[in-house]
Amino acid sequence: MPHEPTPDPHSDPPLHPALLTGPPHPRLAEVRQALDSLNPGHEAPPAAHLTARLTRAWTVRHASPDHREVVGALLPGLIRDAQASALQARTAATRRTAQSLLAEAYFLAQFFCAYQPDAPLVWRVAERGMTAAQDSEDPHAIGLAAWLTTQAHRDSAHYEAADAVTHETLRYLTPLLPDATKDVRAVAGALTVEAGLTAARRGETGTAWHHWDQARLLAETLPRTYFHPVTSFSRAVIAAHAVTVAVELHAGGESVRQSARAESETIPSRPRHRIEQARAYHLDAQPDVALATLAQAHATAPDTVRYNGYARRIILEEAEAKSPSRRRRASDLAARLGLVS
C-alpha cells in the first residue's frame, strides 16, 4: 500500500473522527475474532459454494434495511471458510481462485467494519484484501481492492495516497479493457469516479468533471440493465455520482440540479444515494429538504444512515437549529438513530 502523506493543507478537512466513527455493532467482536483467526482448522467448502454465499451477502448488503446485522451474521463463517480455502489450495489455479474469494470476503468485512470504533481493524482488513487480490492475479479483485483502499485514504485526507492507488490501478486495468468482462470494466469505471471525487475534494473542478465524464463513457459500454454487484457502477448510477462530485466541489446549486436528474434513475442502494442528495440540499441551504431526504433514507435502511458520518453531521447540526420545528425533526431522527439519549 502506498505511504500515507501529510494531508493537503489547502483541502477541506475530513469529517471529525467522532462523526466518522459510529457505534460498535453487536457483531463486531465476532467478526474481529474471525479475522484474527488465520488458521480455521476445518475442511474448506467447494469454491462454487463459497462463491454463491458471497453473492448472497452482497445482495443483502444492497437490499436489506438491517444489512449490517445480516452481513455481520454471515461474515464469520465466510471469512473462516475463505481462509481455509486459501490455506488448502494445492494447485496454482485453485490457489488463485481461493485468493480471489478470500479477497472478496475481506472486501465485505471492510464494508462491515467501516465507521465503527476500530480504525486499525479497517486498515488491517484493507491491507489483507489488497494482498489477497494481488496474489489472485485477478484484475477484478485488484480493482476492487484499489477502490476500497482509495476511499479509506480519502476519508483520512490522504489525497496523494488515494491518487496513487487509483491511478496506478487504472494504468494496470486500462490495457485490459478492450477484452475485459463487464465486471472489470465496471470496476475501472468505479475507480475513475473515485479519481474524480478525490480531485473534487481538493477543489479541482475541471479535473473532477473530466474523470466523471470518462467514467460516464465507461458506463456506456455496459448493458443498460447491468449493475456491478459490489460498487453498483452502471449507466444508471453515473448520475448519482455526479451529485457527489458537485457536493464535494461545494457547488450547491449544481449538486441540487444533478440530484434532480439522478432522481429519475432506478438504482440499487438508493438509501446511500439519498444521503448524497441530502448533502446537496444541505449545501444549497435547504436544510428542511435535507432532513426529509435523510428521513426517507432512514425509513428504508436505518443501518445506512446510522453509520454514515455525513448523515450524522447534518442531523446533529440541525438538532441545534434556530427553527423549533426543524430542531424537533432533527432531534427525533437523532434519537431514532441512537445519536442522543
Which letter does DSSP use for residue 174 in this model?
Answer: G
Q: What pLDDT does 260 receive?
A: 81
Mean pLDDT of 215-228: 95
Buried b (16+ CB within 10 A) or exposed e, 168-180: ebbeebeeebeeb
- The three-point CA angle 113-156-104 to 5° equals 40
Q: Supply the pLDDT for residue 269.
A: 61
pLDDT at 136: 97
Please give the average per-residue pLDDT across 261-265, as a whole number. Answer: 66
Q: What is the mean pLDDT of residues 299-320?
A: 88
Task: Dump strand ranges (E) for 45-151.
Answer: none
- Is the CB of residue 280 less than 8 Å from the CB of residue 291? no
Kindly state the average pLDDT of the residues 208-233.
96
pLDDT for res 132 = 97
Q: Give tens-digit pLDDT for 35-55.
A: 988 777 889 999 999 999 999
Q: What's the pLDDT at 267?
A: 63
Residues 6+ apart with CB under 8 A from 151: 162, 194
As a residue count, the chain comes to 341
Quick: pLDDT tens for 113-165.
Answer: 988 888 899 999 999 999 999 999 999 999 999 999 999 999 889 999 999 99
Burial class of residue 220 in the structure, from the number of CB atoms within 10 Å of its CB (0-12 exposed, 13-18 middle, 19+ buried):
exposed
Contact 243, 265 (CB under 8 A): no
pLDDT at 307: 82
Answer whether 281's CB lies under 8 Å from 287's CB: yes
pLDDT of 7 > 50? The answer is no
**What pTM, to 2 d.p., does this model score?**
0.85
Mean pLDDT, the chain, rounded, equals 88
Q: How confident is the model at residue 219 (pLDDT cuts 50, 70, 90)?
A: very high
Q: What percent of the chain has pLDDT over 90?
A: 68
Rounded to an integer, the average pLDDT of 281-310 is: 89
Mean pLDDT on 261-266: 65
- What the block records as the C-alpha cell of 13 is 478537512
The residue with greater pLDDT, 149 or 306, is 149
Whether the pLDDT of residue 14 is over 60: the answer is no
171 has pLDDT over 80 = yes
* 229 has pLDDT over 50: yes
Q: State the CATH architecture for 138-268.
A: Alpha Horseshoe (1.25)
User: Is the distance from CB of 182 to CB of 222 less than 8 angstroms?
Assistant: yes
Q: What angle do CA 162, 189, 263 make, to 5 degrees?
A: 105
pLDDT in tens, 82-112: 999 999 999 999 999 999 999 999 999 999 9
Q: Which three cell numbers stand for residue 292?
A: 426529509
Please report, rounded to a whole number, the percentage of residues in the chain having pLDDT higher than 70.
91
Query: Locate cell 481492492: which residue?
Result: 145
- DSSP per-residue string spanning 17-75: HHHH--PPPTTHHHHHHHHH-----SPPPPHHHHHHHHHHHHHHHHH-TTHHHHHHHHH
Interval 68-80: pLDDT, tens = 889 999 999 999 9
Q: What is the mean pLDDT of residues 286-303?
A: 90
Q: Is 5 left (phi over 0), alpha (psi -120 to 50) or beta?
A: beta
Cβ neighbours for 234, distance < 8 A, ≥ 6 positions apart:
186, 219, 222, 226, 227, 228, 267
Could you tell me if 159 and 153 are in contact, meaning their C-beta atoms sit under 8 angstroms apart?
yes
pLDDT of amino acid 18 = 45
The three three-digit cell numbers of residue 320, written as one number: 441545534
CA neighbor of 298 nearest in space, from 259, 337, 240, 338: 337
How much is the pLDDT for 268? 60
